């Protein structure tokens, strides 16, 4: 049995449709592949038997040492460059700047 998780983020937010079925996200430090097509406002991730819950953070790209895919990996999966991905994020996407002072950069 497998479990699917719905992520409320889609091509209207800047996720390329080319990520469908190939790109991965991290939930709880574990990578999971996008299942099916990226839709306008959502995509689905196959999480297998991983212990995920409603409200768990989903990391699109981040520090690979934490289990997150990098934006460079996403660029390869989507057939583009990393700058295109980070600049195409739409206004609905909340931005959070991390700094060394926070101990999280």
pLDDT tens digit sequence for 5-52: 999 999 999 999 999 999 999 999 899 999 999 999 999 999 998 889
Over residues 9-18, the pLDDT tens digits come to 999 999 999 9
The whole-angstrom separation of Cα 10 and Cα 44 is 10
| pTM, to two decimals | 0.84
Over residues 64-82, the pLDDT tens digits come to 988 899 999 999 999 999 9
Which position has the higher pLDDT, 94 or 11? 11
The whole-angstrom separation of Cα 48 and Cα 33 is 10
User: What percent of the chain is predicted at pLDDT more than 90?
Assistant: 69
CATH class of 3-49+57-102: mainly beta
């Amino acid at each position: 049995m497998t479990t699917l998780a719905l992520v409320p983020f889609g091509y209207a937010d800047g996720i390329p449709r080319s990520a469908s079925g190939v790109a991965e996200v991290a939930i709880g430090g574990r990578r999971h592949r996008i299942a099916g097509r990226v839709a306008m406002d959502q995509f689905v991730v196959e999480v297998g038997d991983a212990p995920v819950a409603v409200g768990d953070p989903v990391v699109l790209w981040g520090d690979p040492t934490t289990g997150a895919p990098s934006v460079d990996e996403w660029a390869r999966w989507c057939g583009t460059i990393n700058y295109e991905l980070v600049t195409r994020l739409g206004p609905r996407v909340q931005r959070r700047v991390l700094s060394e002072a926070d101990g999280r950069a």
